[in-house]
Amino acid sequence: MTVDARHAEYEAHAPDWTLLRDFLRGERAVKAAADAYLPRPQSMSDSEYAAYLTRATLYDATGKTAVAMAGAMFRREPTFELPAALEYLRDDADGRGTPLAQVAKRAAAEVCGLGRVGLLVDFPVLPPLASAAEERAFNAQAKLLQYEAENILNWRYEKIGGAHKLSLLVLRELAERIDGFETKYVEQRRVLLLVDGRVVVEIWEKRENETTKTMEWQRVDSRAPTLPGGAFLADIPFVFIGAADLTAAVDKSPVLDIARVNAAHYRNSADYEDALFMLGQPTPWISGLSPEFIDKYQGQLRIGARSAWLLPQNASAGLLESQSNLGALKDAMEAKERQMAALGARVFEARDGNPEAEGTVRVRQSGEAATLQSIASNVGRALTIAANWCGLWMQASIEAKVTLSDDFFPAALDPASLDALFRLWQGGAITKQTLFENLLAGEIIADGTRFEDYVEQLEAEAPVLPAFGGDEDEEGEADEDDAEDDEEDEDAGEEVA
């Protein structure tokens, strides 16, 4: 077995990942695959197939659905509880200036798209017994590296000391090679092994065998990472993230069924557009021509306002137009659009202009939220595990915690609910704090607003409501008249007394 061997589950799911990746990337990637998604009809020439491919259009249901799913998970920002030693992750989690929030978004997007991604904690290599100053000079911080499903080639678990541990992991990487102004990328394999209870990291590259003169995989580096103080790693610091759980088992992509229907819809669109091209244009015809006339003018007749046909006597001409509306192909495409909507592509679902009943919306959203809840929970747990592996190297005093919001859908309060809330508060049935919390949950008040700040702003900005019955000047005059009447009433009262 070579270092480039693939796990059996990898081989089984690789075709699905190729399909998903192409449809997630969009029309350019799908058309680049040519007959992988759009088989060439028999007897069609290269130029005809190129035109057939060009006229096809991709209905971008797969990509838009995956983006909408990931976007729903980050409708509210994730929360990061980080010890001081790990605060650097907030702004630079991967050593390339990518914030931890962006790492979370990328991981969630991959799980929504392919159903799988992995996070590796990479520990810096320092000179033996490096001082604190040397560590700072080397920017010695643990970082998080993300690996897409296609780049997690092989893995193995073994029972070691009563625990089921990851003992082999093979990852595909691209290493940068700088050549003047040009950056080249060399494919390599990063292999992580458990050997005698400690982690060993190997780097393999394809190089020429001096004996056979053929290119083959060769190990070019091997090391055993250590923690500050010299302790070896006892576990491979990698976490799998799936749509269902955090195990190495490959989970089905949430949008795989949509992608498959999307591919069928794409083929329908090619046939529909090709048929429109062939049948939708009026075609001129001429009858009653002699063979001599045909031989002389073959290919010379043009159509347009500046062209005139001088035909022989008894010849006739006209335009041939198709009466077909290609209804069968159009119906097939619309049926697939509805099927994609039913499978989860709600963003494309046709609306008839009538608002859905509140109960219907809640039932529909609860089904969608179940998948999102699982993915959000998995990404949060995985980032928590990875951050705490970073904490081992950075000697963090307390554990980190990453949480993704489970508030996926807007819950704006309707006017009737708002009115009921204010009536309850005015009637003394609920406190101002409860009113505030309901307004916050209903997204009437901006997310992140504190109760104390809200009350302070209300008191500072509360409008002075004018008295009913007139403008300011009239109100002022009315107030003066009322004051004079009050004085007269008091004088009259004293006289009576």
Token digits of residue 181 = 């102004």
3-state secondary structure 56-78: CCCCCHHHHHHHHHHHHHCCCCC
pLDDT at 120: 97
Contacts of residues 45-51 at CB distance under 8 Å and 24 or more positions apart, as own/partner, are 51/277
pLDDT higher than threshold 80 for residue 146: yes
pLDDT tens column, 165-179: 999 999 999 988 888
Beta bridge partners of 283: 320
Which of 244 and 292 is assigned the larger pLDDT? 244
Which of 64 and 481 is assigned the larger pLDDT? 64
pLDDT tens column, 220-233: 999 998 887 788 99
Mean pLDDT of the 300-328 span: 69
pLDDT at 306: 66
pLDDT at 485: 56
pLDDT tens column, 266-312: 999 988 888 877 665 666 777 877 787 777 777 777 776 667 777 77
| 99-101-107 Cα angle (round to 5) | 105
Q: How confident is the model at residue 445 (pLDDT cuts 50, 70, 90)?
A: confident
pLDDT higher than threshold 50 for residue 5: yes
Closest CA to 228 of 312, 320, 134, 321: 134
Tell me the C-alpha distance between 275 and 326, whole Å.
8
Mean pLDDT of the 480-488 span: 54
Tell me the C-alpha distance between 400 and 290, whole Å.
90
pLDDT at 131: 55
pLDDT at 273: 84
Closest CA to 101 of 322, 291, 379: 379
3-state secondary structure 17-43: HHHHHHHHHCHHHHHHCHHHCCCCCCC
Amino acid at 146: Q
Q: Give the number of other CB atoms < 10 A from CB of residue 491.
A: 10
Q: How confident is the model at residue 489 (pLDDT cuts 50, 70, 90)?
A: low
Cα dihedral 37, 43, 47, 48 in deg (nearest 10): -70
Question: Do 105 and 113 contact (CB within 8 A), yes or no?
Answer: no
pLDDT tens column, 382-425: 999 999 999 988 888 899 999 998 877 666 666 777 777 777 77
Q: How confident is the model at residue 486 (pLDDT cuts 50, 70, 90)?
A: low
pLDDT at 40: 93
**Quick one: 428 exposed, middle or buried, by C-beta within 10 A (0-12, 13-18, 19+)?**
exposed
Whole-model pTM: value is 0.74
pLDDT at 468: 44
pLDDT tens column, 196-217: 989 999 999 988 888 888 899 9
Mean pLDDT of the 316-325 span: 63
Question: Do 177 and 163 contact (CB within 8 A), yes or no?
Answer: no
pLDDT higher than threshold 80 for residue 138: no
pLDDT at 490: 54
Amino acid at 242: G
Tell me the C-alpha distance between 382 and 104, whole Å.
10
Strands 215-223 and 79-81: unpaired
pLDDT at 349: 39
pLDDT higher than threshold 90 for residue 89: yes
pLDDT higher than threshold 80 for residue 183: yes
pLDDT higher than threshold 50 for residue 358: no
Percent of the chain with pLDDT over 90: 43
**Cα separations (Å) of 468 from 422, 426, 481?**
22, 21, 16
Tell me the C-alpha distance between 404 and 377, whole Å.
7
| 178-180-185 Cα angle (round to 5) | 30
pLDDT at 381: 97
Q: How confident is the model at residue 469 (pLDDT cuts 50, 70, 90)?
A: very low
Q: How confident is the model at residue 342 (pLDDT cuts 50, 70, 90)?
A: confident
pLDDT higher than threshold 80 for residue 470: no
Q: How confident is the model at residue 149 (pLDDT cuts 50, 70, 90)?
A: very high
On average, the pLDDT of the chain sits at 81
pLDDT tens column, 359-393: 444 444 445 578 888 999 999 999 999 999 999 88
Q: Give the number of other CB atoms < 10 A from CB of residue 244.
A: 16
